[in-house]
Chains A and B, each alone.
Chain A
Amino acid sequence: MDESGHRGIRITRRTVLESGTATAAFLLSGLPQVALSAEAADTETAITPISVDLQVNGLLHRLTLDPRTTLLDALREHLALTGSKKGCDHGQCGACTVLLDGRRINSCLTLAAMHDGEPITTIEGLADGKTLHPLQAAFIEHDGFQCGYCTSGQICSAMGMLSESRAGAPSYVTENLAEAQPALTDAEIRERMSGNICRCAAYPNIVAAIKQAAGAPT
């Protein structure tokens, strides 16, 4: 997906990162005219910017966005929350996983506009001040990564997975679907985490970290 605002205004990701959210929001208020002139040549539909209230990690942000902006791009490019990563941008790798009302989703495959006012949690929202979330601490303790690019997605996904598991949700490898509380075995963790790819193949350590955070013996 192209970010028309960037093309027109010539802000880079670095500029946004250095300037912070307030600057990004200020620059974006200038989006409509610039975007229109930049896009008019190659599209039939004029861009009608929309106002979106994103509630991220407990903070409300009012954004003016091109309707095409995915939730991932809104988080990264407009709110400077770059913990959520863009891997494939097609829902295949899981690096962009965030929690929507506590449920894990691929933020690259949904539009920011579709989540006006809905509570979103990203990797930046997990720690309590300087105290890491138990999943974050477990990933460090068990060396659940090498390059780290997939890690925020893995951790957010594991958050969602553990709450699904606590709620008794089955998986494809659950032998008895009628069982109210399927045990979280290694095979269950691997199946339930299959939407998160780790190109470094740190999978054994990821499983160990998740087991520890789940309170299971590792």
Chain B
Amino acid sequence: MKAFTYQRANSLTEAAAASAKPGATLIAGGTNLLDLMKLQVETPNHLVDINRLPLDKIEDTPEGGLRIGAMVRNSDLAADPRVRNRYGVLSRALLSGASAQLRNKATTGGNLLQRTRCYYFYDVTKPCNKRDPGSGCAALGGFNRIHAILGGSNQCIAVNPSDMAVAMRALDAQVGTIDAKNVTRAIPIAEFHRLPGDTPQIETTLKPGEIITAVMLPPPPMGKQIYRKVRDRASYAFALVSVAAIVDAAGGKVRSARLAFGGLAPKPWRVAPAEERAVGASASESTFDAVASGVLDGARGYGGNDFKIPLTRRTLRAVLAEATLT
């Protein structure tokens, strides 16, 4: 680990100002950041500890949704009765991620900012445009079993590893932020993560010194909520494919379908035209297949990850069948 100086922030303004300085980084749960610092993938010269900022509340909003503080731990969010009863897809997604020890530390804001688990990003002896812009991408022609089939570029095909963010995408969450001048923003989660394009090192639309304060969930949408995760182990593994689904169906017809995907792309993936194919359609294999084709529009494999295309289709079909079962 490279040397750094350490500061415990006593206010959001102090944290925002300190984190805007070159080389400074906020530390919350630290479960991903310290891992990367040990490998010198991340080499901050100053850490701003925000663990004692009062951002650990889950509050009801006047609209009937929830406001989740950025420092709410993943385990606390998953176990909250309101989340379990009204946002089951989020609770289930959180519980599918990492281990209990990590979930006790990992925070809502930190989960949104976690880095990819691409093994070339982690290996500082290999080229990686995300870690070292301009050095190349070893995954394109290398082992790319876990990599993106959608949304990648010829610079980077790393996937976003979060389960939580996939559920939040299906729920149309918003990310609340504040900067050192006390300017606040609410960023729709769809616009929070960026696609790599030619700048894979820039992963979110956060500005320097802008801090996540909360995630806002709108009132729970109608329908059955499912989080289905397909991975190499039964527990404690990242998704090869995951589906967060909120499907409203009755009398053999689909009224609405919200479908977000993990493991497929550099950001939680959602395709509006694919969802529209389900609206008003019969809950049948042919509908499910048409929706899957819409989701996979433009998908391409890079050799090792070709299997993700049929795996996504089959997983989605199974999820939609379960969601529309009467």
Q: How far is the CA of A110 from the CA of B78 in the complex (A)?
A: 22
Does B38 count as interface, using CB distance less than 8 angstroms?
yes
Q: Are A90 and B104 in contact (CB under 8 A)?
A: no
Q: How far is the CA of A45 from the CA of B29 in the complex (A)?
A: 23
Does B235 count as interface, using CB distance less than 8 angstroms?
yes
What is the CB-to-nearest-CB distance from A68 to chain B, in angstroms, rounded to a whole number?
5
What is the CB-to-nearest-CB distance from B53 to chain A, in angstroms, rounded to a whole number?
13
Mask, A183-218, CB within 8 Å of B = 1, is 000000011111110000000000000000000000
Give residues of chain A (127-182) contacting chain B, Cβ–Cβ below 8 Å: 157, 160-161, 164, 167-172, 174, 177-178, 180
Q: How far is the CA of A47 from the CA of B84 in the complex (A)?
A: 45
Residues of A within 8 A of B75 (CB): 103, 164, 169
CB-contact partner of B31 in A109, A170, A172, A191, under 8 A: A109
Q: Are B6 and A195 in contact (CB under 8 A)?
A: no
B38, closest chain A residue (CB): A1
Mask, B31-60, CB within 8 Å of A = 1, is 100110010000001110101000000000
Q: Are A172 and B30 in contact (CB under 8 A)?
A: no
Does A113 count as interface, using CB distance less than 8 angstroms?
yes
Q: How far is the CA of A193 from the CA of B235 in the complex (A)?
A: 10
Residues of B within 8 A of A64 (CB): none
Residues of B within 8 A of A100 (CB): 104
Q: Are A170 and B6 in contact (CB under 8 A)?
A: no
CB-contact partner of B100 in A50, A111, A177, A192, under 8 A: A192
CB-contact partner of B92 in A68, A160, A177, A191, under 8 A: A177
Q: How far is the CA of A130 from the CA of B78 in the complex (A)?
A: 38
Q: By the criterion of a CB under 8 Å from any partner CB, how many residues of chain B are at the interface?
A: 40
Give residues of chain B (282-300) contacting chain A, Cβ–Cβ below 8 Å: none
Given known contacts A114-B49, A178-B84, A90 and B2 CB-to-CB distance under 8 angstroms: no
Q: Are A109 and B105 in contact (CB under 8 A)?
A: yes
Q: How far is the CA of A194 from the CA of B75 in the complex (A)?
A: 15
Q: Are B84 and A170 in contact (CB under 8 A)?
A: yes
Number of A-B contacts (CB under 8 A): 128
CB-contact partner of A105 in B46, B91, B101, under 8 A: B101
What is the CB-to-nearest-CB distance from A14 to chain B, in angstroms, rounded to a whole number?
24
Q: Are B45 and A44 in contact (CB under 8 A)?
A: yes
Given known contacts A110-B34, A170-B91, A178-B85, A195 and B5 CB-to-CB distance under 8 angstroms: no
Q: How far is the CA of A196 from the CA of B236 in the complex (A)?
A: 10
Q: Are B4 and A67 in contact (CB under 8 A)?
A: yes
B45, closest chain A residue (CB): A45
Sorting the interface of chain A by its residue count into under 10, 10 to 19, 20 to 34 or 35 or more gives 35 or more
What is the CB-to-nearest-CB distance from B205 to chain A, in angstroms, rounded to a whole number?
27
Give residues of chain A (75-126) contacting chain B, Cβ–Cβ below 8 Å: 89-91, 94, 97, 100, 103-106, 109-111, 113-114, 116
What is the CB-to-nearest-CB distance from B30 to chain A, in angstroms, rounded to a whole number?
5
Q: Are B235 and A160 in contact (CB under 8 A)?
A: no
CB-contact partner of B101 in A47, A113, A157, under 8 A: A157
Q: How far is the CA of A116 from the CA of B51 in the complex (A)?
A: 11
Residues of B within 8 A of A196 (CB): 99
What is the CB-to-nearest-CB distance from B36 to chain A, in angstroms, rounded to a whole number?
10
Given known contacts A105-B101, A111-B30, A195-B236, A68 and B4 CB-to-CB distance under 8 angstroms: yes
Query: Assuming A114-B51, A170-B95, A195-B101, what are 7 further A-B pairs, CB within 8 angstroms?
Result: A90-B35, A91-B35, A91-B101, A105-B105, A168-B79, A170-B79, A177-B84
B residues contacting A by CB (< 8 A) are 1-6, 8, 27, 29-31, 34-35, 38, 45-47, 49, 51, 75, 78-79, 81, 84-85, 88, 91-92, 95-96, 98-102, 104-105, 234-236
Closest A-B pairs by Cβ, 4 of them: A195-B99, A194-B235, A67-B6, A172-B95
Q: 21 interchain pairs (CB within 8 A)?
A: A44-B3, A45-B3, A46-B3, A48-B5, A66-B3, A68-B4, A90-B38, A100-B104, A104-B101, A106-B102, A109-B30, A113-B6, A113-B49, A114-B30, A161-B100, A164-B100, A169-B79, A170-B78, A174-B95, A177-B85, A190-B235
